[in-house]
Amino acid sequence: MKANRALLKKYMHSSDHKEKHLIEKQFIDDDFVMDALEGFGQEKQAWVGLNATDKKYLKTKRTRIAIFLSISLVFSLSIGFYFTPDSSKDKPQIMNAAKTAGTSIKIHLKADVSKMRPAVFKERITPKEIIEDLHTTNQISKSRKEALEQIKHMPATHVDLKLQQTRRLSVKMGRELFIQNFKVVDYRYYRKRGRTENKPYDENDLGVQQLQIPYINLLNKSIDCFAKQQYKLALLYFDEILQTYPDDANALFYGAMSLYNLQEYEQAASRFIKLQSIPFANFSEEAEWYLLRAYQQLKKEAAFSSLRKIIIEQKGFYAQKATNLECD
């Protein structure tokens, strides 16, 4: 039998004298236990005081444990916060990546393209129309650039905020050149390596053999097919570029135009949308206008109305055209 609080409690509250005698007999040689038994036996209120002391001790103990746990929690959170990477710095990149990823584009094989059928002539956007629009917008862009250069010498209070916004957007513009009168971003200033390209396609048996061809040569072939209104061949070449350079402005824009003229309006729209989230904004204004045309063909009235309003409010080259365009 072990002398503990439970045994002492049992002794104090027992009315069985035989049981008490057995406890006393067990600890007859232990003076400390016997003194305790005698003291609690003589002072009936001693047990009440002991319980009060226990409660106070337990309360203090619980308070100390709570404080210790709180400090530990705060310390753990502080350490975790300190070593956790700051995601706010990457937030813009994450948002841009998500935006780009959400606009998926399909890379076509010859089997896909062979099933496509060109739109009737009156529903196509001809290369001639595109060239005329691109040259006009290019002249407008040059005029804006000259105006902005003059603004640099004016006092800050005289600067038009809208022109300042245009100036910020112009930072995204890549160097340009014209291939057969078609505006393209000149990636020779931004890419140093050539890439593996496919053997030139034949209009009948679109081959797939590999051959080393510089980017600019492949782009020339793509534009040449587009100019000749060979939209299937052009699409395959543009998609070949996109396999290596998914954000290539030239392949996205002219590939989208090829898809539009092949009545693949949904896919064309996805490429026009993606053009808004790539590094260079050279085709941004044109992409909005031809996206509006794609929405018209798809009869997406809500999207058409919303984008049409935006184009008109921007008061750019396509504002009047958008005003005259209706969703059938």
User: Do 43 and 111 reside in the same domain of the chain?
Assistant: no
Model-wide pTM > 0.75: no
Domain count, the chain: 2
What are the tens digits of pLDDT across the range 70-126? 677 666 666 654 554 443 443 343 334 334 444 578 999 999 899 999 999 999 999
Residues contacting 237, CB < 8 A, separation 6+: 201, 218, 221, 222, 225
What are the tens digits of pLDDT across the range 233-267? 999 999 999 999 999 999 999 999 999 999 999 99
User: Do 130 and 275 reside in the same domain of the chain?
Assistant: yes
pLDDT at 133 over 90: no
Is residue 257 a part of any domain in this protein? yes
Residues contacting 42, CB < 8 A, separation 6+: none
Separation of CA 107 from chain center? 21
User: Do 33 and 118 reside in the same domain of the chain?
Assistant: no
User: Do 55 and 146 reside in the same domain of the chain?
Assistant: no
Is residue 91 a part of any domain in this protein? no
Q: What is the CATH number of the domain that holds 283?
A: 1.25.40.10
Is residue 88 a part of any domain in this protein? no
Separation of CA 248 from chain center? 19
User: Do 126 and 272 reside in the same domain of the chain?
Assistant: yes
User: Do 218 and 73 reside in the same domain of the chain?
Assistant: no
**Domain boundaries, position 16:** 5-81
Of 36, 66, 81, which residue is a domain's last? 81
Residue 301, both tokens: 């009235």
Is residue 315 a part of any domain in this protein? yes
Residues forming a β-bridge with 178: 183
**In this structure, are residues 107 and 267 in contact, taking their beta carbons and an 8 Å threshold?**
no
Q: Which of 61-70, 162-171, 290-299 has the highest mean pLDDT?
A: 290-299
Is residue 86 a part of any domain in this protein? no
